[in-house]
Each structure stands twice: as C-alpha cells, then as structure tokens.
Amino acid sequence: MIPLRQKLEFASQPFQGEKLQLKNRFVMPPMITNYATPQGSMTDRQIAYYAARAKGGAGLMIVEAAAVSPEGRGFSHWLCLHDDSYILPMTRITQIAQAHGAKILIQIAHAGRQTTAQFTGDQPVAPSAIPCPTFGEVPRELTVEEIKVLETKFAEAAERAYRAGFDGVEIHGGHGYLIHQFMSSRTNHRSDGYGGDLSGRMTFLVNVFESIRKRVPPHFIIGCRLNGEDYVPGGLPIEETQEISKT
C-alpha cells in the first residue's frame, strides 16, 4: 500500500499532457449542486461554490452537467447551455478558475429517457421507447432526423463553452443518460444505423465528437465520461466499454 504522504506528493506534481498542462493532479469531477436557476442559468451561489474549489488549489475542475437542449434536462435546477443567454454567467467562473491557475471544463449532457415531463414540459425521448426504471415514463423514440439535430446541439453547446472561456468539455456518455442509452443494447433496440452491433450503437457518440471537433479550435479539450461496467442484464460490459474508449 502506498503511504498517504507519498500519494499527496505525487498529486501535487504538475501534469504535462499533449493538450492539457496542470499545475497539479488534483481534479474536481463534475458533481450536481442543484444551485442553478429553475431556467438553468448559473447563479451567484453556484459561482461561489466553484470559486472556492479554484481558490483551494484544484488543478482541474469539471463543472457539472449542462443540458444541450431544453428536453435534455434531468431535473429542475440543472444547468443549461442550449442558448447564448447562458454564456455570460459562466464566463465569471472561467475567469475565476483561470485567475487561480486552474484549468476548467464543463460537462455537456442530455438526459434522454432519464427525466420526466414534469421537468422538461415534454415527453422524454430515447433511442427506443423503453421506460426508465427510475421515472417510469415511456419515452418517445427519436427519429433519425431528430438524432442528427441533437448531434448538432451537442456541438453548439461545446462552442458556447469555448466562447464562455472553458478549456474544454466533457461529453457525458455514462450514468444512463442519452449517449449511454444509445450505446447499451439494454436500452437501444433500433435496427437502423444507430443501433444493432456495438459499432452502430456507438454512432451517436462518434458523430457528437466529430461534430464538436469541427466547431472548436484544435487546442480545445474534448473528453468523455463512460461507465466501466453497467452490472445489469443487457447493459454495457467492460469489454464493450474498452472498445468504445479506443475509438
């Protein structure tokens, strides 16, 4: 077992990557605060929360999930990034983070079926019309045209993140949200190019990544959060996640 002191010494060392240089290896992962306004704008309380972590010395901060479209919100008080009006409040936290020498990303997401009309005002959507066990609502199956629109929505949200001063985005591809729903054979029963084998089920994620890359500069970081093993029948096994991570 590595002593705690030795771990802390290692974490305190700078990190030098091809696109990412950090003053240390302390990373704050995205965690929901529920501090946004009911409309999804960043609030003073939320900014203070992240500012405290920047002042505390984090080398990398990843801001909690922001919805790429209105129907993609997972619950009330979820951040949004589907409109230019959300950019200005976010520039405050990126400026604070960078003033303290921290790199800052934001997670972009779409809840898919893992939400309710109570939060979004509309029927949830998903790759297939299979109810979410958490909320129980039957989602509407997305058409191919709607899927392509959502691919663009992810790219537009990433571009807004760049304009707000973020160093990059983290695509949320785990935890039962829309991209994960596409990748899992448990929730994706499509027979078109967005379903079938793993290659087909990965199409949405691959297209999202490529769409983002076309809209942001080369130095802008694009990460992706994935589940390792779903641990449910028909869910993603670790072998498929390994294949996804190589793409």
Active site residues: 177
CB 50 within 8 A of CB 81: no
By DSSP bridging, strand 60-67 and strand 27-28 are: parallel
Q: Could you tell me where the beta strands, DSSP code E, fall in the chain?
A: 15-16, 21-22, 27-28, 60-67, 79-80, 103-109, 125-126, 140-141, 168-173, 221-226
Beta-bridge partners for 125 = 140
Helix, strand or coil, per DSSP, at residue 60: strand
Q: How far apart are CA 28 and CA 59, in angstroms?
A: 8
C-alpha distances out from residue 56 to 86, 113, 228, Å: 26, 37, 30
Quote the Cα angle for 38-124-159, to 5°: 60
- Of 226, 221, 222, which Cα lies nearest the Cα of 238? 226
Q: How far apart are CA 180 and CA 77, in angstroms?
A: 22
